[in-house]
Amino acid sequence: MAKTIADLLIDSLLNAGVKRIYGIVGDSLNAVLDSIRRSGRIEWVGVRHEEVAAFAAGADATLNDSIAVCAGSSGPGNLHLINGLYDCNRSRVPVLAIAAHIPSSEIGSEYFQQTRPELIFKDCAHFVETVQRPEQMPLMVNMAMQQAVAKQGVSVLVLPGDVAGLDDNVAVPNVSVHVAKPVVQPSPEDLTTLAAYLNEAKKVTLLCGAGCAGAHDQLMELCEKIKSPMVVALRGKEHLEYDNPYYAGLTGLIGYSSGYDAMMDCDTLLMLGTDFPYRQFYPKNAKILQVDIRSEHLGRRTPLTFGLVGDVKNTVEALLPMLKEQDNSKHLEKHVKAYQKVRAGLDDLAVGKPGRKPIHPQYLTKVASDLADEDAVFTCDVGTPTLWAARYLKMNGKRRLLGSFNHGTMANALPQAIGAAVAQPGRQVVALCGDGGLSMLMGDLLTVRQHKMPVKVVVFNNSALSFVEIEMKAAGYPETGTGLESPNYAAIAQAMDMQGIRVEDPADLEDAMRQAFEHDGPSIIDVAVNRQELSLPPKITYEQAHGFTLWMLKAVLNGRASELVDLAKTNLIR
């Protein structure tokens, strides 16, 4: 039997080490699905929404450090991929999306389900090309994968359904993707300049992000040598929070005062592997130095004194011999002690007294962290689940934390948990979901059930889009449109023939979580948490304080003074 273009596609994916494709079937994908069936060597992971397919592929690629693949049928099918693909591209995750297309002869005729995928995906991908002739394959798919791997992002291969079924007997090369891992470090002259700035400084603070992965030991040595506290951006948490005596906490909207103060109090800020976006959290009167693997990131968040291109590990290794040993540790000790004080205060909030309802979300997150496996993979929805994960999940160098930290979309936790469970089937996966996020893509609980994934879905059920409520209050607006009539998700799980546990009393939480974590199948733990839990950023602006005052006044005038009493009872107005 002659090979088809779809066969060349599947053979190329197999040569690149791809083991599965996430997606939903459709007639424009028929030739691809038939090739998968006949090959018997690649798995089709069917989901209930294509957005889930893209997020799952991103989680798969992140955990396995390799390219992953998702697919959508023509028109509406592949359009649903776009939100997940934006997230993957912004998080620098190599993903190939197969966007099936209408019959090639009908392109331009306003045919059923026609869209313009070659234009639609341009903004969220490094490579978007359409296969039009057999002669383009397998080179086209190899180019797409190479771009995704080399640029650490998304490639989209547009494949009309009829073209996928065309005959083509070209041989597929044995090596289709070249994964290069060059060592990138600044020139000797740049390193000398950087060292001079650091040697002259009296109070250096480090701001470290996801680009510091794999450089934990080198950064500990750097902090010790220059007596620097380390502030961490959220994506750096899993790589740097543990075994770190120099830790001053997180900064930004979900950070702590200790992290903010450590940056504002320095005379020199050294940014390493971070593209931290919030300009209001950078110091105004300090020298700012930046090391990043991507030169286009230099100075795009705040004006720089000096910027260098290099990967963090090798740059720091080359820099260390050029630095003077600092003997004044007052700056370091001050901000580490400040973090320890903040940490103690945060821990005081993570308690669960029997009968104290609704449950503190801090306590829920701490229990999840305490009971989860040492190498658990956590995913967290955008909003308050990300906030509580940042503050209460303990990282140890083995655990992973995935979220939509750059793109900031709702409903990412469940899809990423699906990808994590498929990518590393022996590993515990815990999804921290908001009731708003879970309900947006709740249909894929059926994917979890169908594929028998032992994912633990922890629902922060507060019947609200609570982070949006906080933002409204800070701006002085009475919250509008944020209330949710959330059901009992445990009952929904039971209706799907999955374990479902509802928790309303803190006294029951630990046993319920332990029962769910020990269960050998999927489980939903639906926890009624406090809607009025107020989390404030480390820097309170005049506008925010004014906004909260306006909100309280409007709440009273609108007959909602009881909400203020609830806040006071939970010790959140201090």
- The active-site residue out of 113, 185, 362, 499 is 113
> Is 467 a catalytic site residue?
yes
pLDDT band at 222 (very low <50, low <70, confident <90, very high): very high
- pLDDT (0 to 100) of residue 571: 43
Q: What is the pTM for the complete model shown?
A: 0.92
Cα distance between residue 360 and residue 460, in whole Å: 10
Q: Is the pLDDT of residue 269 over 70?
A: yes
pLDDT tens string 522-574: 999 999 999 877 665 565 554 545 444 554 455 444 544 444 445 544 443 32
- pLDDT (0 to 100) of residue 190: 97
Instruction: Kindly state the helix (H) or strand (E) to which residue 232 belongs, with its residue range.
Output: strand 230-232
| Residue 88, both tokens | 């993957």
Any idea which of 63-72, 174-183, 372-381, 402-411 has the lowest mean pLDDT? Answer: 174-183
- The active-site residue out of 467, 479, 499, 503 is 467
Strands of 230-232's sheet in order across = 247-250, 230-232, 204-208, 268-272, 287-292, 306-309
Q: Is the pLDDT of residue 389 over 70?
A: yes
> Is 382 a catalytic site residue?
yes
Cα distance between residue 533 and residue 387, in whole Å: 11
| Amino acid, res. 443 | G
| Amino acid, res. 469 | E
pLDDT tens string 476-522: 888 889 989 999 999 999 999 999 999 999 999 999 999 999 999 99
Cα atoms found within 13 Å of the Cα of residue 276, Cβ hemisphere only? 34
Going by DSSP bridges, is the β-strand pair 268-272/247-250 parallel, antiparallel, or unpaired? unpaired
pLDDT band at 272 (very low <50, low <70, confident <90, very high): very high
Indicate the average pLDDT of the chain: 91
- pLDDT (0 to 100) of residue 473: 78
Cα distance between residue 202 and residue 331, in whole Å: 9
Instruction: Please report the domains of the chain, with CATH numbers, ordered by start residue.
Output: 5-164 (3.40.50.970), 188-341 (3.40.50.1220), 350-569 (3.40.50.970)
Asked, as a colleague might, if the bond just before 361 is cis with ω within 30 of 0, I would say: no
Instruction: Kindly state the helix (H) or strand (E) to which residue 203 belongs, with its residue range.
Output: none
- pLDDT (0 to 100) of residue 568: 47
CB 212 within 8 A of CB 273: yes
Could you tell me how far CA 153 lies from the centroid of its own chain?
Answer: 14
Query: From its phi and psi, is residue 256 left (phi > 0), alpha (psi between -120 and 50) or beta?
Result: beta
Asked, as a colleague might, if the bond just before 94 is cis with ω within 30 of 0, I would say: no
- The active-site residue out of 112, 200, 515, 565 is 112
CB 22 within 8 A of CB 45: yes
> Is 544 a catalytic site residue?
no
What are the backbone dihedrals phi and psi of residue 268, each rounded to the nearest 5 degrees, phi first? -145, 125
CB atoms within 10 A of CB 142: 20
Cα distance between residue 14 and residue 92, in whole Å: 22
* Distance between first and last Cα of the chain: 75
pLDDT band at 470 (very low <50, low <70, confident <90, very high): confident
User: CB-based burial of residue 559 (10 Å sphere; 0-12 exposed, 13-18 middle, 19+ buried)?
Assistant: exposed
Could you tell me how far CA 457 lies from the centroid of its own chain?
Answer: 17
- Coil, helix or strand for 309? strand
pLDDT tens string 419-447: 999 999 999 999 999 999 999 999 999 99
- The active-site residue out of 128, 163, 367, 382 is 382
